[in-house]
């Protein structure tokens, strides 16, 4: 494979936020010319497909300021520094859905926007849910509403683009194709 690596000769951090940071790198290209790369740094995240006893998938409806609208997603959340994804996944499942599980299975991982961001999402699933006796609170700036759908209902929403979030749509199709749901 040809090596198209870009060497950084200058890097500037423009912004350091609570979720993301922004960095602009000056790089030298394979042909010797130079360019600027605008890079969003993200801590990485998890997403979980929780399936209930009666074979329904638990979704969350959440307002997304970036889109200025409420969308349907599977439960998800950011990694805390140094945290193992399976730990984050269990916490997010508990906080966002009020369910817990002793059997969380790793499914796959993927980069969401490699053109400008390093975000990676680790996907988990569980089919053995039990209700938490003492529900946890979501993050203080997070408001979600639950929604349970069969695979057929969810697939119809993917097709109509009412499920419009890539990680959610991909997770559903991945599990369906693997025969895991």
Residues taking part in catalysis: 140
The strand pair at 99-101 and 129-131 is best described as antiparallel
Nearer to its own copies, 39 or 90 (CB): 39
Candidates 101, 114, 95; CA nearest to 166 is: 114
Candidates 81, 181, 99, 96; CA nearest to 145 is: 96
| Minimum gap (Å) between residue 82 Cβ and its own copies | 20
The strand pair at 45-50 and 120-126 is best described as parallel
Nearer to its own copies, 4 or 133 (CB): 4
* R_g over Cα of the chain: 19
For the CA atoms of 12, 13, 15, 16, what is the dihedral angle to 10 degrees?
Answer: 180
| Minimum gap (Å) between residue 124 Cβ and its own copies | 15
**Cα–Cα dist 17/51, whole Å:** 34
| Minimum gap (Å) between residue 48 Cβ and its own copies | 15
Nearer to its own copies, 124 or 170 (CB): 170
| Minimum gap (Å) between residue 90 Cβ and its own copies | 19
Nearer to its own copies, 34 or 130 (CB): 34
Please spell the DSSP secondary structure of 35-51, one letter per residue: EEEEEEE---EEEEEEB
């Amino acid at each position: 494979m040809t090596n198209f690596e870009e060497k950084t000769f200058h890097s500037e951090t423009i912004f350091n936020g609570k979720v993301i940071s922004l960095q602009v790198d000056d790089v030298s290209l394979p042909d010797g010319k130079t360019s600027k790369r605008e890079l969003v740094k993200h801590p990485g995240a998890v997403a979980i497909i929780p399936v209930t006893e009666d074979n329904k998938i638990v979704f969350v409806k959440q307002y997304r300021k970036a889109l200025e609208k409420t969308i349907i997603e599977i439960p998800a959340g950011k990694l805390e520094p140094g945290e193992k994804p399976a730990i984050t996944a269990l916490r997010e499942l508990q906080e966002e859905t009020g369910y817990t599980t002793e059997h969380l299975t790793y499914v796959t991982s993927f980069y969401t926007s490699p053109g400008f961001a390093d975000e990676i999402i680790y996907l988990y699933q569980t089919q053995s849910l039990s209700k938490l006796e003492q529900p946890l609170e979501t993050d203080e700036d997070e408001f979600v509403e639950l929604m349970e759908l069969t695979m057929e209902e969810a697939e119809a929403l993917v097709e109509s683009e009412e499920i419009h979030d890539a990680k959610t749509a991909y997770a559903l199709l991945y599990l369906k194709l693997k025969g895991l749901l």
